Amino acid sequence: MDKEIYLLNLENKILKETAKEKYIESKNFIKQIKALEENLMKKSDELKSLYIQQQIQSIINQLNIRDLTSDEILRKLYNKYNTQVNELKNEIINLQKTVGRREFEKEHLVKQFNTLKSENAELRSILTQQKSSKEVDKKLLASNEKIVMYDSDDDDHSVASSTIFVCSSTIQNQKSLSIDAWKKNVYARVLENGKKNEKKIKISHLGETKEALIEGIREIREFINEDTELKNVIITDRILIYFLRSNKFRIERVKKKIRSFYIHRLEINEWFINRDPFLTKINELLKIGIFLPVIEKNELKQQIVILRIGAHNPKIHLQNDVMKTSLMVLDWLTFNDETISIYGIRAIFDMKNITLYHALQMTPIIIKRAVYLMDSYPTRIQQLHFVNAHRGINIVLDIFKKFMPQKLQERILVTRENPEFKASDHLPIDLGGTNKSYKELAKYWKHKLEKNHLWFNENIENI
């Protein structure tokens, strides 16, 4: 019994000593862990410091300020970011000015539109009375030879006031006149205005006579007033004369063209809204010169226009912006030059630098819209000439031809290289001519549209 107690006490003593050793060992282990943690913290601080030094060194290398003092470095950094702040402030100021200008133009446009709308209602009332009575007892539709020319610096553009007239929107109280007397009065003023102009325009080949002119306008007016989609569109007699001449006074064809022309503009509104030459994308395309009318007419008095299909970067500029910019130039030219409706247009498509990306932009829908619009313009297209054409041009042309009338298809001409044009075509040196280069023409038309930017807002007819 005593022996067992002794053994138990001995075992208990050994366990206590073992536990004491383990305790001391664990305390030493904890100290080692703390020492390791302190060492790791030091290493972390060193790594952070090293990273910051590397970042600072990278900035120094970028700014090339390796040999500068700390004050000079701070000054240089301040100047750099202060410049950026000033640029942002200037950009904000310019945007505020643009917004203010747009608001002013919007108010001006709304006032003008409301005035024209009111006067147009009175005009329709008078025309309705004329249908039911041979005489107008109280009011007479006053015709006016007034044609507003926008910056027509060139002689060829100044012809527009020679033999056309615009129905004035004002209604004046005058003595009673028969409709026949009114017609004679109108045409007499047209002829008188034409005599004042030094340049005579021969229009007999279009079938234009005194009777055809007056009767054609009357018939087209009746057609427009009866058309639910066109009756609210403001179309002056000036534009009607353009359509009559370009279609050789074939009334049914004129009706079809006018309807197509305005309906397409209502449907494809992305090509006809925000038509501001100062908008960034449009201004860039004007600077590139994607659509360039030649300044002088050719020997047949036709207007030559050059479409540079491969001039823009398709990764930057959308085809809708390209079409909008081109149509802005064409609209301004068509409206301000009467001879275009008489002698027509020759279009030269320069295919130089065209790529697959350019071709992919020309989807069948865009081609269809472009062809329909082109065919509905109040002018005659005399030729579509594709120059510097690639071998794959026939694929694109086949799509074009599907939407073209047969007569227009027959006027397509394709040449692989720059052909030898006549000197009388007055083409730029880029096409082998001796006249203004593409760059000079682009600068000319960019300045022209910028100078007349309000025209695209004030022109209610949208042509």
pLDDT in tens, 42-81: 766 666 666 666 666 666 665 555 555 566 666 666 676 6
Specify whether 277 is located in the same domain as 355: yes
Best CA proximity match to 330, nearest among 362, 364, 370: 370
Note the pLDDT of residue 198: 35
CATH of the domain at 405: 3.40.525.10
Give the number of domains in the chain.
Answer: 3
Q: Could you say which of 220, 242, 267 is where a domain stops?
A: 267
- As to burial, measured by CB atoms within 10 angstroms (0-12 exposed, 13-18 middle, 19+ buried), residue 352 is middle
Specify whether 253 is located in the same domain as 163: yes
Q: Phi and psi of 387, rounded to 5°?
A: -115, 160
**What is the rounded (10 degree) CA torsion for 217, 222, 225, 226?**
-150
The span from the CA of 18 to the CA of 428, in Å, is 106
301 within some domain = yes
13 within some domain = no
36 within some domain = no
Whether the CB-CB separation of 298 and 422 falls below 8 Å is answered with yes
Q: What is the mean pLDDT of the chain?
A: 75
Specify whether 400 is located in the same domain as 297: yes
Specify whether 360 is located in the same domain as 427: yes
The span from the CA of 362 to the CA of 269, in Å, is 18
Specify whether 82 is located in the same domain as 216: no
Q: Could you say which of 86, 115, 144 is where a domain stops?
A: 115
pLDDT digits (tens, 9 = 90+) for 72-90: 666 666 676 667 677 777 7
pLDDT of 238 strictly over 90: no
Note the pLDDT of residue 421: 78
Specify whether 327 is located in the same domain as 428: yes
159 within some domain = yes
Structure tokens at 353: 């630098």
67 within some domain = no
Best CA proximity match to 400, nearest among 355, 368, 359: 368
More reliable by pLDDT, 126 or 285:
285
The span from the CA of 418 to the CA of 389, in Å, is 9
* Pairing mode, strands 177-178 and 303-308: unpaired
pLDDT of 379 strictly over 70: yes
pLDDT band at residue 38 using 50, 70 and 90 as cut-offs:
confident
Note the pLDDT of residue 125: 64
- The vertex-303 CA angle with 163 and 428, nearest 5°, equals 145
Which residues constitute the domain of residue 190?
116-267
Specify whether 152 is located in the same domain as 251: yes
* Pairing mode, strands 303-308 and 291-293: antiparallel
The span from the CA of 313 to the CA of 306, in Å, is 18
pLDDT of 189 strictly over 80: no
37 within some domain = no
